[in-house]
Amino acid sequence: MPQKLVIIPTYNEIENIEKIIKNIFSQPVDFEILVVDDSSPDRTWALVQKLQQDFEGKLHLEIRADKSGLGKAYLHGFKWALERSYDYIFEMDADFSHNPNDLIRLYNSCLKDNYDMSIGSRYITGVNVINWPMKRVLLSWLASKYVKIITRIPIEDTTAGFICYRRKVLESIDLDKIRFVGYAFQIEMKFKAYRKGFRLKEIPVIFTDRTKGKSKMSGGIIKEAVFGVITLKLKSLWGKI
């Protein structure tokens, strides 16, 4: 059977981490989990260490020295996965904004339908977002439209962070040259995969805003996405992507 790894980056997610781990392991498909924790002050990492006793060989933990961005946490996880024999690598949030039940749909899109990258999309069938204020919904939706216009990626939810990659996609991208760390990280990964000719598929999902813990969104992350897209497009025109 193909080996499947779900990467979950965490920073102060002690209210969510145990429940999300147990939910993923209750799925009818055999997933493993890698938690990449940025030395959470609330000791999320310590709870994961405790849970490892119950899920030996299936629950993995990497503790980074400090908080340096979502993108860098995922890159750490990607490199960890590529050093091992995982065939499918997933991105997923810890806060239940991504429904663990949808992992199987993303997986089947790659395994059975032969896509290289499947994306849990909030906008492929309208706007499927719960508990966000209208201002944030509009900001996210408009950002994805803006990215699509600039980059010409045929993706409606370009900032989505619920993803399944075939191993070969991550192997083909020079991870050391990924520049961005926030929303722009998600855009950069999709853009580079698309430019390399991989087959991308959006799977409709319902995104539910967190009910526990605090959002990591900031103005700097949004600014990075807005200006980062232009940088990506210019580099592609210069043949540097």
Encode burial over 48-61: b for 16+ CB neighbours within 10 A, e otherwise.
beebbeebeeebbb
pLDDT of residue 153: 92
Calculate the CA 107 to chain-centre distance: 14
pLDDT of residue 219: 47
DSSP 8-state class, residue 35:
E
Which tokens go with 64? Answer: 């980074």
pLDDT of residue 210: 60
CA distance 216 to 181: 12
CA distance 15 to 31: 22
Beta-sheet pairing, 59-63 with 32-37: parallel
Q: Which of 15, 14, 17 is nearest to 6 (CA)?
A: 17
Angle between helices 219-237 and 183-195 (to 10 degrees): 20
pLDDT of residue 134: 86
Whether the Cβ atoms of residue 59 and residue 10 lie closer than 8 Å to each other = no
pLDDT of residue 184: 85
CA distance 164 to 15: 25
Whether the Cβ atoms of residue 8 and residue 206 lie closer than 8 Å to each other = no
Q: Which of 141, 132, 103 is nearest to 119 (CA)?
A: 103
Whether the Cβ atoms of residue 87 and residue 2 lie closer than 8 Å to each other = yes
Instruction: Encode pLDDT of 89-108 as tens digits.
Output: 999 999 999 999 999 999 99
Can you list the residues of the chain whose pLDDT is less than 70?
210-227, 237, 239-241
pLDDT of residue 138: 85
pLDDT of residue 207: 93
